[in-house]
Chain A
Amino acid sequence: MPFSEFTTTNVSVAVIGVFILGFSSILTGLNFITTVHRLKMPEMKWTKMPLFVWALYATAWIQVLATPILGITVLLIFVERMFGIGLFDPAKGGDPILYQHLFWIYSHPAVYIMVVPAMGVVTEIIPTFARKHIFGYKAIAFSSLAIAFAGSLVWAHHMYTSGMSDTAVLIFSFLTFIVAIPTAIKVFNWVATLYKGSIVIEPPLLYALSFIFLFSIGGLTGLILGSAGTDIHVHDTYFVVGHFHYTIFGGTGFGFFGAMHYWFPKIYGRMYNKKLAVISWAILFVGFNILYFPMLVIGMMGMPRRYYDYLPQYHTGHLISTIGSWILATGLLLMFYNLFKSIKHGEKVGKSPWGAATLEWTTPSPPPTLNFVGEPKLTRGPYDYKGVEEDEQYT
């Protein structure tokens, strides 16, 4: 009997939890879409919005469109286990592959829900610290939507070995390659923004730059998995685990850390210890690569995922990986220590310590109730740095 019908664990309670979380995901997406449409200040046209908002807008659409499929999938798990209907049970005429389809129709777009906001963060950080207008505003905005759209049509690339038809494999492989295009558009635009900019190296920028590096490795290994032929070789190996962590940890994780370091002074009105932030970033970055890069290598050698035991030839890789995990954990602890300590004890800063051009930096830090003192005025574009005054000092 397939796992979609039966396991020895109490999945029913867990899926109820997932169903409730799904509601929160849907309502968040719904709220963000409605807010972007209805609460934008009237003079802020769509092409004047910060690209982070564009990224959240695209993400919100994925949340609204994909999460209901997760809802019905977990609901079906629940009724199958309670009533034994048999919709995925071959003995009763059901098809377990249909369950896999339903599962991945949500669960692949879910990774874009995780990474597209991080891309938005990187898009904010890079022009701020390059002191240069973002290169390719519209291309970046529309690539977010394109990722949301194309990313919703590639789910079955998780199922090349499931026994579905070769035609389906071919189509989903092709569509997977299509998603790489808008992603690459973003990467090229970020790099082009840095080109000939007056770059100031600050902790948020370091996180943004590592995002580009790590996510590119994650993305390119994704293409190896997306090609039907090579996937058969590395399917269900550590290569997949390595790829996943380069995209989700190197992408979402580092984007999230970058966001925390970028908006921290805005949220708390205080600055963390920048030197310590750089040190913890460096430890984190080194530890990350020592932890995850060997996984790509032993995966290529054939180390299967989901086993705690392994053959001797994989020993060295696992050893290096384990040491990397200690380094990574050290970096994480140091980073969180620095941030938590600075919430109360950091040096006080003014409203715009980075000299960024978006609206949130015109309001005091931390922002007052209702965010702005009086109606905010839009005097410049989100990446128009001419005449922006840095306001490091607390007044």
Chain B
Amino acid sequence: MSNIHKDYIGSKFGMWLFLFTEILLFGGLFILYSTYLHKYPAEFHLAGKELNVYFGGGNTVALVTSSLFMAMSISAIQKGDKRLAIIFLGITLALAFVFLINKYFEWGAKFHHGIYPDSPTLLQRPKGEIIFFGLYFVMTGLHGIHVLVGASIIIYVLFMLKNEKVNKDDFVLLENTGLYWHLVDLIWIYLFPLFYLIV
């Protein structure tokens, strides 16, 4: 019997379970969102109009495109093209930073107008708007942390690609990173309409 055990399916199985738990983590916030939307539909509508659809839309394009490059990076390593895999993954990383920088300006503009949690300006607003912006900062903030974590993992995998620890025959680490990245993307795809479009 050997104590070296590599189980490709097992790794992905575990990763998918982990992704379920991530969805459930955000699920708690989605429950709060739906309850408060039901309670304060008019305030949510007014507050939602204050968000900049172009900022949000731009970020959506950045993330979806980054997911495409992530998938292409996996295809490249499957074909054994290390150089191309690194380039595609590097573009994924760059787009992650585009997203975060964009977010920085978006939040910064809100702060500039005095809209941040517990701010005097915000507390003078109707309750539903306080809650809307509260959820906005918490949900996009938690998502932003996920982008940051994802970007850190991508940097790690870039080094693993370079050292050929991730290669044509053993690329499950890259594939799982891709799964995580697509999840980060997916959650944003739900956050974007909830805050910028449908209310």
A→B interface (CB under 8 Å): 26, 29-31, 33-34, 37-39, 64-65, 67-69, 71-73, 75-76, 79, 83-87, 92-95, 98, 101-102, 105, 369-370, 372, 374-375
In the complex, which residues of chain B have a beta carbon less than 8 angstroms from the beta carbon of A39? 7, 10
Please measure, in the bound complex, the distance between the C-alpha atom of A75 and the C-alpha atom of B131, giving whole angstroms: 17
Q: Is the CB of A93 within 8 A of B131?
A: yes
Q: Is the CB of A87 within 8 A of B14?
A: no
Question: A72-B25, A73-B28 are contacts. A83–B14 as well, Cβ < 8 Å?
Answer: no
Question: A26-B21, A93-B131, A102-B28 are contacts. A85–B118 as well, Cβ < 8 Å?
Answer: yes
Q: Is the CB of B13 within 8 A of A34?
A: yes
Most A-side CB within 10 Å, residue of B21, B24, B134 = B21
Interface size bracket, B side? 35 or more
Please measure, in the bound complex, the distance between the C-alpha atom of A30 and the C-alpha atom of B17, giving whole angstroms: 6
Q: Is the CB of B13 within 8 A of A38?
A: yes
Please measure, in the bound complex, the distance between the C-alpha atom of A375 and the C-alpha atom of B2, giving whole angstroms: 10
Q: Is the CB of A38 within 8 A of B10?
A: yes
Q: Return the chain B residue nearest A369 by Cβ.
A: B3
Please measure, in the bound complex, the distance between the C-alpha atom of A72 and the C-alpha atom of B23, giving whole angstroms: 11
Q: Is the CB of B118 within 8 A of A372?
A: no
Q: Return the chain B residue nearest A87 by Cβ.
A: B134
Q: Return the chain A residue nearest B18 by Cβ.
A: A30
Please measure, in the bound complex, the distance between the C-alpha atom of A95 and the C-alpha atom of B142, giving whole angstroms: 21
Please measure, in the bound complex, the distance between the C-alpha atom of A95 and the C-alpha atom of B13, giving whole angstroms: 38
Most B-side CB within 10 Å, residue of A73, A86, A369 = A86
Of B3, B130, B134, B137, the residue contacting A370 (CB under 8 A) is B3
Q: Return the chain B residue nearest A90 by Cβ.
A: B127
Question: A31-B14, A85-B137 are contacts. A69–B28 as well, Cβ < 8 Å?
Answer: yes
Please measure, in the bound complex, the distance between the C-alpha atom of A164 and the C-alpha atom of B97, giving whole angstroms: 44
Please measure, in the bound complex, the distance between the C-alpha atom of A30 and the C-alpha atom of B29, giving whole angstroms: 22
In the complex, which residues of chain A have a beta carbon less than 8 angstroms from the beta carbon of B13? 33-34, 37-38
Q: Which of B29-85 contact A (CB under 8 A)?
A: 29, 31-32, 35-36, 39-40
Q: Return the chain B residue nearest A27 by Cβ.
A: B18
Task: Tell me if B128 counts as interface (CB < 8 A to partner A).
Answer: yes
Q: A68-B24, A69-B28 are in contact. List 9 more A-B contacts (CB 8 A).
A: A30-B14, A30-B17, A69-B27, A72-B26, A76-B28, A79-B138, A85-B118, A86-B117, A95-B39
Q: Is the CB of A92 within 8 A of B25?
A: no
Q: Is the CB of B1 within 8 A of A374?
A: yes
Task: Tell me if B123 counts as interface (CB < 8 A to partner A).
Answer: yes
Q: Is the CB of A85 within 8 A of B9?
A: no
Of A34, A38, A75, A375, the residue contacting B142 (CB under 8 A) is A75
In the complex, which residues of chain A have a beta carbon less than 8 angstroms from the beta carbon of B117? 79, 83-86
Q: Is the CB of B134 within 8 A of A92?
A: yes
Please measure, in the bound complex, the distance between the C-alpha atom of A310 and the C-alpha atom of B176, giving whole angstroms: 58
In the complex, which residues of chain A have a beta carbon less than 8 angstroms from the beta carbon of B22? 68
Most B-side CB within 10 Å, residue of A29, A75, A87 = A87
In the complex, which residues of chain A have a beta carbon less than 8 angstroms from the beta carbon of B127? 92-93
Please measure, in the bound complex, the distance between the C-alpha atom of A30 and the C-alpha atom of B142, giving whole angstroms: 22
In the complex, which residues of chain B have a beta carbon less than 8 angstroms from the beta carbon of A68? 21-22, 24-25, 27-28
Please measure, in the bound complex, the distance between the C-alpha atom of A374 and the C-alpha atom of B9, giving whole angstroms: 24
In the complex, which residues of chain B have a beta carbon less than 8 angstroms from the beta carbon of A98? 31-32, 35
In the complex, which residues of chain A have a beta carbon less than 8 angstroms from the beta carbon of B31? 98, 101-102
Q: Is the CB of A64 within 8 A of B134?
A: no
Of A33, A71, A102, the residue contacting B17 (CB under 8 A) is A33
Q: Return the chain B residue nearest A66 by Cβ.
A: B24
Q: Return the chain B residue nearest A33 by Cβ.
A: B17
Q: Is the CB of B14 within 8 A of A34?
A: yes
In the complex, which residues of chain A have a beta carbon less than 8 angstroms from the beta carbon of B3? 369-370
Q: Return the chain A residue nearest B35 by Cβ.
A: A98
In the complex, which residues of chain B have a beta carbon less than 8 angstroms from the beta carbon of A37? 10, 13
Please measure, in the bound complex, the distance between the C-alpha atom of A31 and the C-alpha atom of B131, giving whole angstroms: 38
| Nearest CB of A to B83, in Å | 34
| Nearest CB of B to A371, in Å | 9
Please measure, in the bound complex, the distance between the C-alpha atom of A223 and the C-alpha atom of B13, giving whole angstroms: 38
Q: Which of B108-124 contact A (CB under 8 A)?
A: 117-118, 123
Task: Tell me if B20 counts as interface (CB < 8 A to partner A).
Answer: yes
Q: Is the CB of A94 within 8 A of B21?
A: no
Q: Return the chain B residue nearest A99 by Cβ.
A: B32
Task: Tell me if B100 counts as interface (CB < 8 A to partner A).
Answer: no
In the complex, which residues of chain B have a beta carbon less than 8 angstroms from the beta carbon of A370? 1, 3
Of A31, A71, A83, the residue contacting B25 (CB under 8 A) is A71
Task: Tell me if B135 counts as interface (CB < 8 A to partner A).
Answer: yes
Interface string of B157-178 (1 = CB under 8 A from A): 0000000000000000000000
Please measure, in the bound complex, the distance between the C-alpha atom of A86 and the C-alpha atom of B126, giving whole angstroms: 13
Query: Could you list some 24 contacts between A and B, CB below 8 A?
Result: A30-B18, A30-B21, A33-B13, A33-B17, A34-B17, A39-B7, A65-B20, A68-B25, A68-B28, A72-B26, A73-B28, A79-B138, A83-B118, A85-B138, A87-B131, A92-B123, A93-B40, A93-B126, A95-B35, A95-B36, A95-B39, A101-B31, A102-B32, A105-B28
